Amino acid sequence: MIDDVEDLKCLSGKILVLGVSGSIAAYKSADLASEFRKAGAEVFVVMTESATRFISPLTMGTLSRNPVSVSLWDEEKNWQPGHIELADQADLFVVAPATANQIANFTHGNCPDLLSSIYLATPAPILIAPAMNGKMFEHPATAGNREILSERGVCFVEPVVGELACGYEGVGKMAPVEEIFSRAVKLLS
């Protein structure tokens, strides 16, 4: 995946926050974390509770080489709100996969979880890779939410057509890891 020295230069020393929400595509975030780290980025993974049902924080922590954050309640260990510190330090905020629920939270400023709180506090560029059932993806509410976020400067890596976890064939499958990685590089270049 890292086929260009320029990729390494642009990611080297950068702080990436990788958000993982509760989708079957969460397993692909492991490869993404690994590739970002290999390219020299410091990767901090933030997972929703739902995401931990699909892939473990242990896996993500091992591949990112950093502790994984799941809950705002984990912040009891320090006086300083860690989510604000992480939001401030991020050079890029990537959410892959992003569910319809997570996209709606981002759009409407809802913060029911750590991932949404960091999203709302970060000034970093944001890249979202949706993954969901095709009917959910094409629903006017989701389409409207994506449009609002795009108008706010959020970048999307559109899902692809394929066999979905629900058994349907159609749009909604998370974009390939290579494509997400490439878009992240472009955003940081």
User: Which amino acid type is present at position 130?
Assistant: P
And the tokens for 78?
Answer: 């320090």
> pLDDT tier at 79 (50, 70, 90 boundaries)?
very low
Structural class in CATH, domain 5-188: alpha beta
Q: What is the pTM of this model?
A: 0.92
Looking at the predicted structure, is the pLDDT value of residue 77 above 70? no
Q: Which of 10, 111, 155, 166 is catalytic?
A: 166
Q: What is the pLDDT of residues 88-135, one digit of tens each?
A: 999 999 999 999 999 999 999 999 999 999 999 999 999 999 999 999
Q: What is the pLDDT of residues 48-67, one digit of tens each?
A: 999 999 999 999 999 999 99
| Catalytic residue flag (residue 155) | no
Domains in the chain: boundaries: 5-188
CB atoms closer than 10 angstroms to residue 62: 14
And the tokens for 95?
Answer: 């959410």
